[in-house]
Structures are given as C-alpha cells and as structure tokens.
C-alpha cells in the first residue's frame, strides 16, 4: 500500500539525480506555475507564441531560489512532457539567470535514463551548441515586449555549480 505521508523532495543532489516536476511543455506559450498555497498548477499568463518555451520547464520540489519561487529546471527531451508529471533527472549544468534584478537560476537536466535516445548527455558541453544558443536567446528576450532588458543570462555553470545552487535552495526551503 502506498504511503501518502511521503512528500516528493529534491532527490539525490550529491548523486546528481534529482526530482523535477514539469510545469510547461516544450513549445507552449502558456506560463503555467505551481501554486504551492493551493497545491495546483495555475495559468499565470499567455505569452506571445514567438516566445514559446524551447524546452520543457519545471521546478525542483522542496527548494526555493533567491526570488522566493521553487528552483527552476530546464528539462531537455526530444518530445514535450505534460504538465504535472515528475521525473528523475540527471543534472548537467546551470544557467545563471537574473530576472528583473532577482536571481532566478535554471538547473539544466535530462531524464536520468536517457540511454534510449542515444544522447547520454552528462554535461552542457554534450548538448548541441544551437540548443544552448536558443535557450540563451529565449531567456534573454522572452519579456522584451512587456519589459525590455529585464532578463539576463549571466553565465553557464557545470554540474558541481548546479549542485551547489540546488543545495542552497534546499536550505532556503528548510529555513522557510
């Protein structure tokens, strides 16, 4: 029998395999966010289609980034993933990001068992350069029609830097 008292946590950060919940599928222009007070997914806004997400977008449970929201994850898969599912994901890096003056980092992950795709991504260096360029362009410009210049991709970090960002976000959650 299932133990419904268990709550999904961040996973095995030191081992590099974390839990991620999908909010927005690849190709969607719907800004869907987890509302932790109501425990439901909520449509925050509809962005212009030109700013549809270039990859699946989600969050790591029981974390808080410096902006007060759950720590974001960019989930790299060949197909869109539906809102609301969770997956075991392998950490491959971090996009250091600032949104409207607040740190809003994005942990870059792939499904933990991505052998079936033949990709076996282990770091950002394994991703196609064009995908990195698309991600950087998207996050640098997706708010340009409303608030130009308010988003900045500052840098990209490796797996160890990503793990440190996750650990700091877990501690913030615990301190809440």
Report whether 121 belongs to an annotated binding site.
no
Report whether 104 belongs to an annotated binding site.
yes
Residue 150: how many CA atoms within 13 Å on its side-chain side? Answer: 10
Taking the CA atoms of 34, 35, 40 and 43 in sequence, report the sign of the dihedral they define: negative
Report whether 45 belongs to an annotated binding site.
yes
Whole-angstrom distance, CA of residue 175 vs CA of residue 98: 23
Q: Which of 130, 128, 110 is nearest to 120 (CA)?
A: 110
Facing residues of 21 across strands? 59, 86
Whole-angstrom distance, CA of residue 104 vs CA of residue 80: 23
Q: Which of 19, 2, 4, 7 is nearest to 109 (CA)?
A: 19
How many CB atoms within 10 Å of residue 136? 15
- Annotated binding site for Mg(2+), which residues? 67, 72, 104
Specify binding-site residues for substrate: 31, 45, 57, 142
- Return binding residues: 31, 45, 57, 67, 72, 104, 142
């Amino acid at each position: 029998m299932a133990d419904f008292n268990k709550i999904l946590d961040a996973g095995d950060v030191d081992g590099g395999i974390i839990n991620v919940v999908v909010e927005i599928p690849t190709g969607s222009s719907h800004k869907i966010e987890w509302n932790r007070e109501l425990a439901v997914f909520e449509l925050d806004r509809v962005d212009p289609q030109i700013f549809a997400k270039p990859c699946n977008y989600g969050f790591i449970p029981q974390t808080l980034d410096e902006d007060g929201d759950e720590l974001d994850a960019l989930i790299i898969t060949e197909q869109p993933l539906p809102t609301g599912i969770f997956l075991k994901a392998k950490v491959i890096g971090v996009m250091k990001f600032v949104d409207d003056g607040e740190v809003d980092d994005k942990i870059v992950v792939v499904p933990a068992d991505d052998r079936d795709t033949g990709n076996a991504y282990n770091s950002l260096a394994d991703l196609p350069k064009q995908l990195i360029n698309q991600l950087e362009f998207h996050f640098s410009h997706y708010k340009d029609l409303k608030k130009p210049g308010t988003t900045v991709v500052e840098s990209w970090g490796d797996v160890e830097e990503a793990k440190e960002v996750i650990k700091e976000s877990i501690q913030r959650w615990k301190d809440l």
